A and B are shown apart, each in its own frame.
Chain A
């Protein structure tokens, strides 16, 4: 049984470029979460969806960040334009009931 799948695993880009991170949740899970992890700020919840609908995006740092979930098996987190301070590991997690969450392996983003 495949877990949460994220792509790419590593992304290096230059400041000002658009970055798109992708996530495939575990089949049957109704909740999807996007997190960012940095040394300075730890693990931060950016946004979460329930049944493909964004429920809480209060953690999205600014308008440069956007997230979509067009269907139950796919979500994207986009940063446009990217900045060096966006460098972090971005995790996607899914859950069948908003209680226990299952994390993907993460995407390590480096913005030069």
Chain B
């Protein structure tokens, strides 16, 4: 079946550091891929998405590219801020969403 594997955390960074969270997927078809973010005490929010191979999703300085050849959708941000501290979930959607385990990111001032 479909599944998502993402980098285990927690990840702790200093402000302005570069962030990468690895995500790989297994799917029988060509699903849409997503990154969701969950801030403390809140629900999940869509951060970005890509619907087909080589698409790049971007939002709030975050980027991820749908790589069919490596079945990956790694999340990157060039310069993180304290406000980026959250849990990040990679997900794929075939006919329903399958989520990764989540990666906790803490950014220190």
Contact = CB atoms under 8 A, between A and B. Distances in A.
Interface of A: 4, 33, 42-43, 45, 48, 56, 91, 93, 98-106
* Interface residues of B, dominant DSSP: strand
Contacts of B97: 33, 45, 101
Given A42-B99, A101-B97, 15 more contacts: A4-B43, A42-B101, A43-B89, A43-B99, A45-B96, A45-B97, A93-B44, A99-B51, A99-B93, A101-B46, A103-B43, A103-B45, A105-B42, A105-B43, A106-B43
Q: Which among B43, B46, B99, B102 has the greatest number of chain A C-beta atoms within 10 A?
A: B43
B96 A103 contact: no
Contacts of A103: 36, 43-45
Contacts of B36: 103
B22 interface: no
Contact of B96 (A42, A48, A105): A48
Contacts of A42: 99, 101-102
